[in-house]
């Protein structure tokens, strides 16, 4: 079991506010280890996604691993997916608000507006180009993780103070 307090950069750490750099060489051993590390932390933390800057590695890559879990009982099941140099190429006009939390912002939940549907492009861990349409919860995770690569936290997107609450005051989770 990884000690999450030591591993995960917490709000206030300047690395969470940086623009992460593009990944140039996917075969780099250090980057491959980073990907394995992100996968295992996401699993241990019961997270649905984690971005490289959260483990103090300022590269444009993250893991999305949506699955039903105590924090998100309605999450759809999907294989843990590594997304490298990810970007949004188009999005729905429709925006939906829903609750988010973050391993780097312990103890808080916020109602965050996100695009309902997005078309995304990224390289997978083998360097293969991928294009996908994501919707609802998975689209939300992608947008949350992409923000991490641009130095943005979900608390920055909460529109009013009532939309930010202590985790324990929510009946779900
Ligand atoms: Zn986060």
State the CATH number of the domain containing residue 122: 3.90.45.10
Q: Tokens 């608000």 sit at which residue?
A: 97
Q: Catalytic: which of 145, 159, 162, 166?
A: 145
H/E run at residue 149: helix 136-149
Is the pLDDT assigned to residue 45 strictly greater than 90?
Answer: no
Q: Is residue 9 part of a domain?
A: no
Q: Is residue 48 part of a domain?
A: yes
- Please report the beta strands in 9-70, taking only residues with DSSP state E, as ranges in sequence order: 49-51, 61-64
The span from the CA of 144 to the CA of 138, in Å, is 10
pLDDT above 70: percentage of residues in the chain: 92
Tell me if residue 79 is catalytic: no
H/E run at residue 163: none
Domain count for the chain: 1
Per-residue pLDDT averaged across 146-152, rounded?
98
Domain around 31: 14-169
Q: Is residue 131 part of a domain?
A: yes
Measured in angstroms, how far is the CA atom of residue 90 from the centroid of ligand 1? 22
For the entire predicted model, the pTM comes to 0.91
Measured in angstroms, how far is the CA atom of residue 46 from the centroid of ligand 1? 13
The span from the CA of 96 to the CA of 80, in Å, is 24
Q: Is residue 102 part of a domain?
A: yes
DSSP 22: P
Q: Tokens 């130095």 sit at which residue?
A: 151
The span from the CA of 39 to the CA of 125, in Å, is 12
């Amino acid at each position: 079991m990884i000690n999450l307090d030591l591993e995960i950069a917490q709000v206030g750490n300047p690395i969470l506010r940086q623009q992460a750099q593009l990944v140039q060489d996917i075969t780099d051993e250090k980057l491959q280890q980073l990907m394995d590390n992100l996968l295992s932390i996401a699993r241990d933390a019961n997270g649905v996604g984690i971005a490289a800057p959260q483990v103090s590695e300022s590269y444009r890559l993250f893991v999305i691993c949506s699955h039903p879990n105590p924090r998100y009982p309605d999450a759809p099941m999907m294989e843990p997916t590594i997304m490298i140099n990810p970007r949004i190429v188009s999005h729905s006009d429709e925006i939906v608000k829903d609750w988010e939390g973050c391993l780097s912002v312990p103890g808080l939940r916020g109602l965050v507006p996100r695009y309902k549907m997005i078309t995304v492009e990224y390289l997978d861990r083998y360097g293969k180009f991928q294009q996908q349409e994501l919707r609802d919860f998975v689209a939300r995770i992608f947008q949350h993780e992409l923000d991490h690569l641009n130095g943005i936290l979900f608390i920055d997107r909460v529109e009013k103070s009532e939309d930010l609450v202590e985790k324990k005051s929510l009946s779900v989770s």
